[in-house]
A and B are shown apart, each in its own frame.
Chain A
Amino acid sequence: MTPIDPRVHRVLDGDEKPDALDVSLRRQVQRLDEAVALLAAAPCATSVAERVMTVIARPTPTRARRLVHWLLTPRAVVLRLRPVWSLAVAAGILALVLFPLPEPGIALREGEGIAQFVARFPGARSVAVVGSFNDWRPESIPLDDSDHDGVWGATVVLPAGAHEYMFVVDGERWIADPLAERFVEDDFGRENSVVIVRPRRESHL
């Protein structure tokens, strides 16, 4: 890379006047000034003020309230298991889907809990949740927006404990959940959302 004359840097940093430069160096300053002026005046993203105010004005429901809401709302259970979790677990979950229990509850095995993922992405064609529980595979757990109101959701049975996750919108945009209770940096300095799944015995229901 060709270094710029230090005097050009000093002028661009405001430490010297451009008058002291010869014509060729002044031209370099002018080129960069013109580039900056173009970038400063170029179109940029439209306002997100309304979107932000809508989110922050909404009271954050407690975990217990979200569970009650989930129990009172009919929903499809989306579940993927790793092969090592045995066919017996898969058969049990399949039985639950085919023959739902009459009581407003769900049969969980020891050490499992319920995670409900809800996010608002108006206009999105698809939304999925990826995380440490599905090896970050976007096709694994799709969210549903059957009433097309832009609110996407999925309820998943997960092992109890903390799970890192993100949403994948339209198969390409990875977005942290702004409503997550916690965030954590991964090994690459990025931030993931964290959901804490409580085991069945700790449920308040």
Chain B
Amino acid sequence: MPKGEDPSDAEVVATVLAGDVEAFGVIIRRYEPGLLRFATRMLGSRDGAADAVAEGLVRAYRHLASCRDPNRLRTWLYRIVSNRCKSELARQPTGSISLDDAPPLPDPDNVEMTLERAEQLAMVERALAQLSPDKREAFVLKHVEGMSYEEMAAATGERIPTLKMRVHRAREALLRALEEAE
């Protein structure tokens, strides 16, 4: 792996597959923040999200050789973590998610604004939690993770028209929930 420059995903994958376990840390540093954010929004639980991402990354390491296109490593990782999240959701009795009850700590300089922001976030998270896992996944990948529909198709294995429909339905449901809550 070349030193002094940012290696491509394909270069990092090749280095790991050549036996350099530590190089997998590059992949973790590069994609972990997004995966944690995605899993937290999918599961509503930071503990559950940490488990899903940890299991997903270990699984990715063990099956790295099967990543057919290392240049699309990001969507491959999202697919693994998404499957972990869906497995977890499917095991919950109601299929729904239980949200963490931990609002951000108030900023001592502006407590009122921080609390208002926490209330708004709680409202949005509740609305997101009401979506089906498929719609929630599509909305979060599109808008929170900023993926294109092509990337979403690679990350989910779904067809683009299906994903567009889910995103549209998710927007409508969210907007209605937010309007009702205001």
Residues of A participating in the B interface, judged by any CB pair closer than 8 Å: 1-4, 8-9, 12-13, 28, 31-32, 34-36, 38-40, 42-49, 51-53, 55-57, 173-176, 178, 183, 188-191
**CA gap between A38 and B119 in the complex, in Å:** 11
Q: How many A-B residue pairs have CB under 8 A?
A: 135
**CA gap between A133 and B169 in the complex, in Å:** 41
Residue in A closest to B48 when the chains form the complex, CB atoms: A173
- Establish whether residues A1 and B173, one from each chain, have CB atoms under 8 Å apart when the complex forms: yes
- Establish whether residues A53 and B90, one from each chain, have CB atoms under 8 Å apart when the complex forms: no
Which of B21, B55, B104 has the most A CB atoms < 10 Å from its CB? B55
**CA gap between A57 and B62 in the complex, in Å:** 11
B91: interface (CB < 8 Å): yes
A residues less than 8 Å from B47 (CB atoms): 45, 173
**CA gap between A49 and B46 in the complex, in Å:** 15
- Establish whether residues A45 and B46, one from each chain, have CB atoms under 8 Å apart when the complex forms: yes
- Establish whether residues B46 and A39, one from each chain, have CB atoms under 8 Å apart when the complex forms: no
- Establish whether residues B54 and A52, one from each chain, have CB atoms under 8 Å apart when the complex forms: yes
B residues less than 8 Å from A178 (CB atoms): 54-55, 58-59, 62
B residues less than 8 Å from A176 (CB atoms): 55, 84, 87
Residue in B closest to A58 when the chains form the complex, CB atoms: B21
Main SS at interface, chain B = helix
- Establish whether residues B46 and A44, one from each chain, have CB atoms under 8 Å apart when the complex forms: yes
- Establish whether residues B144 and A39, one from each chain, have CB atoms under 8 Å apart when the complex forms: yes
Which of A12, A35, A175 has the most B CB atoms < 10 Å from its CB? A35
Question: Interface residue count for B (Cβ, 8 Å)?
Answer: 56
- Establish whether residues A4 and B178, one from each chain, have CB atoms under 8 Å apart when the complex forms: no
- Establish whether residues B144 and A49, one from each chain, have CB atoms under 8 Å apart when the complex forms: no
- Establish whether residues A35 and B50, one from each chain, have CB atoms under 8 Å apart when the complex forms: no
A residues less than 8 Å from B173 (CB atoms): 1
- Establish whether residues B32 and A39, one from each chain, have CB atoms under 8 Å apart when the complex forms: no
User: Known: A9-B171, A43-B102. Is A175-B51 also a contact (CB below 8 A)?
Assistant: yes
Q: Which one, B48, B86, B178, contacts A31 given CB within 8 A?
A: B178
**CA gap between A174 and B43 in the complex, in Å:** 13
- Establish whether residues B41 and A191, one from each chain, have CB atoms under 8 Å apart when the complex forms: no
Q: How far is the CB of A34 from chain B (nearest CB, A)?
A: 8
B residues less than 8 Å from A52 (CB atoms): 24, 28, 54, 57-58, 61
B29: interface (CB < 8 Å): yes
B120: interface (CB < 8 Å): yes
User: Known: A39-B144, A56-B21, A178-B54. Is A45-B40 also a contact (CB below 8 A)?
Assistant: yes
